Amino acid sequence: HNLEMKHLPGADPELVLLSHQYKELERIPLSDMTREEINQLVQELGFYRKETPDAPVPEEFQFAPARPLPTLPPPQAPTADSKTPPEHDEGEHPDL
């Protein structure tokens, strides 16, 4: 579930993990792995394997293996020794 295989002739096989916005998160080369190792990797990454192609997917796996979005650290207040650009008057051009 949520795994799509695309064969690209001449390209080395790799697993490309995408975010929910289809942005690339990671590329994992597969050429040195056996089928069993690839199946194990996919399971470890959290993909759900359906019993049959038309089997329903449990609700908890509908969006699996989606990872939580990375959280950015909160912006820090400038310290006394940090260099902050001087503020300009509204009509003043910053290069002047």
Return the pLDDT at 74: 61
pTM of the model: 0.58
Both tokens of residue 50? 């359906």
Q: In this structure, which amino acid lies at residue 96? A: L
Q: 45 to each of 9, 30, 65, 89, how far by Cα in Å?
A: 26, 14, 7, 53
39's enclosing H/E stretch is helix 35-44
What are the tens digits of pLDDT across the range 2-56? 888 888 999 999 999 988 788 899 999 999 999 999 999 998 888 888 889 899 9
The alpha-carbon radius of gyration of the chain (Å, integer) is: 23
Both tokens of residue 43? 């399971």
